[in-house]
Structure 1
């Protein structure tokens, strides 16, 4: 799974106008989340959302898209679940393609007692909607950054095709 993820990141770096950063980051939003080697791709246009893949000890990956979309692959990893590695690679590519083509929407909503984050990822054969509670400080910061209204991340800018090659 990790090798396929690294290959995908290389393909994205080659095809799109992005910056690439490698480091160690928490793999989840929790304060005590595991720290893992992470590769982050940041489009050169601020309207397009970032993507990162953390390489976990399992060996699996944690995909993060935009601000809040989070997807561990495999989701579980136990022998009973027996997730097919080939299907996981296909799913990883589907999620990433939907994002780089501009299919990710995110927002913060106020509820009666707390705020909620909402994400929606739409792509070919894919429609995922999620809602989760959000920390009040994070909700305020997100509203200041424009997430009170739905934010649709723009498609990633493609690299120009080279026509001067022999």
Structure 2
């Protein structure tokens, strides 16, 4: 694909130095290790994608599942771009970088800070999710709130996924609990 790295040809802008985003892999590894050491979680690795990673293949995925059922899971998929896809709870997804092209000029250091702030907000119980029904269909809503962070997202949801969420008890609003710390 020439100078566009592993991004699809449909991206109109060049990616002259995709390697600058390798710091995201390093930061994600550090975050996962810190969380595994600090909180009561089970850690699993796979190659399953955790959400949309446009134009990139998943190299591996790490899932941290808190042992408290009231606390939401966290997954990080490492992509070959290089980048990551962060999944918090059931429906909060974030691809870092979002694009990675030269025109977007995403700052790797700022993306690392975004990763850390989102993870921190989630671990402290700042993620709220629900599925809503409307006349034209269902949609999901997520809110992530932490120090200096307030993100709200809404997106349509496939009818089958909305039904599954209702059957599994995830359609009602869920405020994920803070993770439990390991004893010192």
Q: TM-score, normalised by structure 2?
A: 0.83
Deviation at 1:29, TM superposition (A): 5.4
In the alignment, structure 1 residue 144 sits paired with structure 2 residue 167: yes
Matched with 2:30 is 7
In the alignment, structure 1 residue 94 sits paired with structure 2 residue 117: yes
Deviation at 1:143, TM superposition (A): 1.0
Runs of 4+ in 1 over 6 A off after TM superposition: none
CA root-mean-square deviation? 1.4
Q: Which runs of 5+ in 1 are unaligned?
A: 162-166
Matched with 2:66 is 43
**5 Å matches for 1:17-166?**
17-28=40-51, 34-161=57-184
Deviation at 1:28, TM superposition (A): 2.2
How many equivalent pairs are there?
159
Deviation at 1:34, TM superposition (A): 4.2
Q: Which runs of 5+ in 2 are unaligned?
A: 1-23
Partners of 1:132 and 1:4 lie apart in 2 by 28
Matched with 1:164 is none
Report the secondary structure of 2:47's partner residue: strand
